[in-house]
Structure 1
Amino acid sequence: RTVDGRNAIITDSYATPANLHDSRPYLDRLDRQCERFGFDVWGVGLDAGYYTAGICKGLEDRGIYGVMGYRRPNKPKGYLPKRAFTYDPETNSYRCPQGQKLIYATTNRQGYREYKSNPTHCQDCPLLSQCTRSANHVKVLTRHVWQDSKDRTDSYRLTPWGKALYKRRQETVERSFADAKQLHGHRYARLRGLSKVREQCLLAAAAQNMKKIAQILARLLRLKSLGMPGLQRRIRKWARKLALLKYWQSGQEYWANSIAN
């Protein structure tokens, strides 16, 4: 499900088979929306499940900034994490905490480069028990051919605008999906077959969009009925609330600094 960031209007709803991850058709669905609705997309906020090399590379090729949730890496308990190994782009190799190199060996069919250590150096290493369980004492690390795109995309998550964009997810797509589950029967598939489930998703999205559009139109008509004087009073009221909020925040900062000092 995809919604726009301004009014939370659902722009796409697509059901996939259970054995197909949601991230697989994402780029095709994004292209379809841009082509059909003429969207000029500059940024997207995605769940951590979409943090894949293919999506990161595809977004970069389209000139779109992707902000994705953080996924904690899985590692066996008691073993060194991958971040303990330093990658050197000039030599295309990794360096372990003990200073030994892991040299590029091959690229597998999934697009991952494999880097292997020298077993003669590793067999006497004091960190061997925390590094690998390999019987031949060879440490193997993998790095996707599009890992640079993943690293750049991950850096957007830590920027101020990236945090603001990702925060909008809970106000737009997360809320939209929660309403669909709670109010529009999205907890269960009511019919059998992929095509019928897609019909159910589209009907629920259409109902939600009609309700959302009705709310937006009612809000616009209410502002129009106020007239210019009424609209000016409403703006002044909002300005006073904003001034009070800023005053309260400055007071909070003052007390925080006083306590710190």
Structure 2
Amino acid sequence: MTANGLPGPGTHKRAFNYDEQTDSYRCPAGQILLPEAKTRKTLNTREHRVYGTSTCGDYDLRAKCTKAGQGRRIKRYPGDGQREALRQVMQHPQAGRIFSQRKAIVAPVFSSLRGQQGLNRFRRRGLAAVRREFTLHVMAYNLSRAVALQRALFSFLWATYSPRASRGQLYALDFSPGFRASTAVTRAA
């Protein structure tokens, strides 16, 4: 946004208000952007609608909003409504706190399932078969966590009660699934 409240050339579409009843956008300067085109999903593009206006007859106003000769254009994707609703919910401080807890607890699990176990999609058909497949993936993840925690515990006990520990070496603890207890860290004096 510029100092006088008008959108600048780099203004994000969040600055434009979407009206679901009229299926149109209203720009910060008060102009209405109507649907102009609909693009179907292809191999390289997602489905979206294009909104635009040519009512910005005043060239100075158009120059403050966009560099395009035909006026400002906005793409609206099918998931934009959910994004806007989530953005409103996340403005509440308590929602942000809850989401940060979820991000710390759940997101690494699914990241591991996708990255280490290759669970990008299910390979079975039918709900019962998919449940069995997901249960096996979760069991494998839990076993890897249990092994990593057990390895870290044994490493800690070995570092605490080993004769090497008394000579100034302490083994670093790492609770990740790929933990290796072979890296020694010199104890700070």
TM-score (norm 1): 0.35
* Higher RCO (Cα < 8 Å, 6 or more apart): 1
**Larger Rg over CA atoms:** 2
Q: Kindly indicate which of the two structures has a greater share of residues assigned to helix.
A: 1
